[in-house]
Amino acid sequence: MFCTTQYISLPYFRRVVARFLLVHPIILWRTLRLRPTLLHIYDPELLPVARLLQLLLRIPVVYEVHENFYKKLEQKIVTQGRLATHFFHRFDAMAQRRFHLVFTEHAYLSTYNRLTNPSAVVYNYPSLSFLEPFRFPYSPNQQAPEFFYIGWISLERAFDTLVAALARFKHHYPVFRMHLFGQRTLTDDDLEKLPGFADVREHLIFYGYIDQQQAFLTIRHTTAGIALLKPVGDYPDSYPTKMFEYMALGLPVITSDFPLYRDIVERYACGFCLSPDKPEQLADALIYLVEHPHEAQIMSKKGRKAIEDRFNWETERLKLLTLYSQILET
């Protein structure tokens, strides 16, 4: 039970309208053919099709809330338009009445406080079994330091701070590489305008959006993993998944100085928490890790141990399976 996995490829379109018209009918058709006993959705744009499937198949639906959209409404209006935002409001309210909700953060409960059906908080901690093939003994490249980032490449994710910090870092270490995995929201013109970009352009390796397993192959000689976010929307209230992934892979972590993040990084002494708007702090942290490999290795081990002892998927999957069982037994 809950063990068989089957992946179905779907076309992707950048525009929401195109996805509604061309992708959602495929999802509807394929799901009707599968006839599942329970449906678990992750993306809020699937709420309408999930409700339709619930009515047609008479099955329970689990809606996973991985982002507090109510704290990003202005940003969503700019990127998706007022009409799409209006529909989100309507269908999100419907989901709270008709679906079972899974939250990836406790902080979301302050917004979703009128739930009708049994729900659960299940943190998106990393799976040790999945990441184990990509974990290597901590062995950073001292002659040509390497750093790692995976996620959206945007100003909200402090990419401008990273670029300015690397320009400072270059004064101390002229040869280095910054591995960047993820979709870019910045155009080439945007990049050219960033302070320090011209100085570090040749050191930045943009891989684009690729499979995590390919990305993690590059960490063998990496000094640190960077998970710096600005205080935008729900970021201060939400753990960045990549922070825990870096810890699981045995990398010292550099992240934002939000209280939620500090409670992990400083308590387990596995990296640095610093201001996402101060490149000098980030540059100093990078230099420290390169020049103090023994201390960096201790951070590596402490972060890994914290994941093994507490922040791993094995501790969370039971919550999800318990919720599934509870739903199916009613």
pLDDT in tens, 211-247: 898 999 999 999 999 999 999 988 999 999 999 999 9
pLDDT over 50 at 77, yes or no: no
Mean of the pLDDT values across residues 284-313?
97
Mean of the pLDDT values across residues 17-30?
92
Who has greater pLDDT, 237 or 296?
Answer: 296
How many residues in the chain?
330
| pLDDT band at 330; cut points 50, 70, 90 | confident
Question: What own/partner pairs with CB < 8 Å and gap ≥ 24 does 265-268 have?
Answer: 268/302, 268/303, 268/305, 268/306
Who has greater pLDDT, 21 or 165?
Answer: 165
Q: Which tokens belong to 123?
A: 């943190």
Q: Which tokens belong to 120?
A: 């659960």
**Lowest mean pLDDT, pick from 8-22, 129-143, 266-280, 312-326:** 8-22
| pLDDT band at 72; cut points 50, 70, 90 | low
Who has greater pLDDT, 82 or 64?
Answer: 64
Whole-number percent of the chain with pLDDT over 90 = 80
Mean of the pLDDT values across residues 246-262?
97
Q: Which tokens belong to 227?
A: 């998970």
